[in-house]
Copies of this chain bind each other. A is one copy, B any other.
Amino acid sequence: MRDSINTHFEEAVRWRRELHRHPQPGWLEFYSTGFIARRLCEWGYDVRLGKDAVAPEQRVGLPEAAVLDAEYDRAVRDGIDEQFIAPAKGGLTGAVGILRGAEPGPTVGFRFDIDSLEITESADPSHRPAAEGFVSANPGYAHMCGHDAHTAMGLLLAAHFAENRDRLKGTVKLLFQPNEENLSGAQAMIANGLVDDLDYLFGVHVGICLKQTGQIGLNVFDWLAMSRFEVTFTGRAAHAAVLPNAGNNALLGACAAATNLYAIARHGAGASRVNVGVLRAGTTWNIIPDKAYLRMETRGVTNEINEYMILKAREVLEGAAKMYGLQLEVKPAASTISAVNSPELIELGARVAQSLPSVREVVPACSANGSEDICLMMQRVQQRGGKAMEILLGTPLGGGHHSTTFDLDETVIRNGAEFFAAMYDAVAGNRPVE
């Protein structure tokens, strides 16, 4: 019954390359949204777009209107039919496809992220996308984290389900999620109730931990809970020579904060992280700076450890403000949690994997050591009694994730679609092809 995957694989590689050429980052994925929506519609899916896909008020880090419009226009210019992206105008990107099978059965969600990074791809001939002509056409944006392959995998899976609809038990729900990189797309779909009816949820990332084609990771842990904050200190400007005593130095407050944030005690129970990624303060040489702006994040290998980091970070920020007589504003930005795969799915997955020729090794334990907002969806599904699993799929890489020369073995697209199709069959008890 899964021949359709092999049949469409070469096509899926072309899809991936088209998506690769037209990358757009979080809340700007007009090209990929339109690309996906057109196909889902053609294949008979019930398609949800715009406000039906993402809750507008949950979109953290929404770009400015001018950028939203420019990227929308770019997608149209690049050949996307407006009928598929009109609902996404203004940054309501993402698409959901629902397909009801012939017979009753579980509701099974598959989530694929679709956003690119804000990075300029290498044009070096040693970089395969450059050599083979599908390098990013959008300067400053590039699929250097494999989300183009995730999307193609989702479309390949979608094609498979559509062709096998009459044999399907239960309901398929494909969630093409925007803005994973800034960790705010998952929450925007959850807030719309889109995972509330799921009995099963599956997700995937390529190339993390596993660097060989054919490897699959099911027992994945160490997803880091993470919280980001925009921090502003406001003091009082003063002439640095004439009246320095009249100032309240926001730059010094920010520096005291930054240093002491990194000095927060390591947690005895597991990994913690903190970073001040951006600090901007002051206007000119001889004025005591009255404004300082920071972008910072905390992480923890458990939600508790991340909470500990947040608590301590707040103390440090408040103390730094107090030290220099500053006003403090702490604005939460993106955040996510830690979650673990449902043990039953790890076990079932291992059995399913062993039946697939494309799987060469089920790696027994994978430490993710990063953050993914699918964890929010997983927790939601698990809390409501469902089961959830984020798998890792092996592929050799060009440069590492988020480098300018990231590349992957496109076989992983088929491998993932095949495994997900098999898992669906396993949990839904689909009729095999006679």
A residues at B contact (CB < 8 Å): 118, 224, 226, 228, 238-247, 249, 251-252, 254-256, 258-260, 262-263, 265-273, 275-289, 292, 295-297, 299, 308, 315-316, 318-325, 333, 369-371, 402
Contact = CB atoms under 8 A, between A and B. Distances in A.
Given A239-B402, A288-B265, A278 B283 contact: yes
23 contacts: A228-B285, A238-B265, A239-B402, A240-B277, A242-B369, A243-B268, A245-B267, A245-B308, A247-B265, A255-B255, A255-B256, A255-B279, A259-B259, A262-B263, A266-B271, A275-B287, A277-B284, A278-B289, A279-B282, A285-B296, A286-B297, A315-B325, A323-B323
A333 B284 CA distance: 13
Q: Considering residues A262, A315, A320, which has the most beta carbons from chain B within 10 angstroms of its beta carbon?
A: A262
User: How many copies of the polypeptide does the oligomer hold?
Assistant: 4
A295 B285 contact: yes
A322 B324 contact: no
A272 B224 CA distance: 17
A118 B285 CA distance: 12
Q: Considering residues A118, A251, A285, A299, which has the most beta carbons from chain B within 10 angstroms of its beta carbon?
A: A285
Contact of A245 (B245, B266, B280, B323): B266
B252 A259 contact: yes
Nearest to A243: B268
A282 B295 contact: yes
Nearest to A369: B242
Contacts of A283: 277-278
Given A256-B319, A259-B263, A271-B271, 8 more contacts: A240-B277, A242-B268, A247-B265, A251-B276, A252-B258, A277-B289, A318-B323, A322-B322
A142 to B, nearest CB: 14
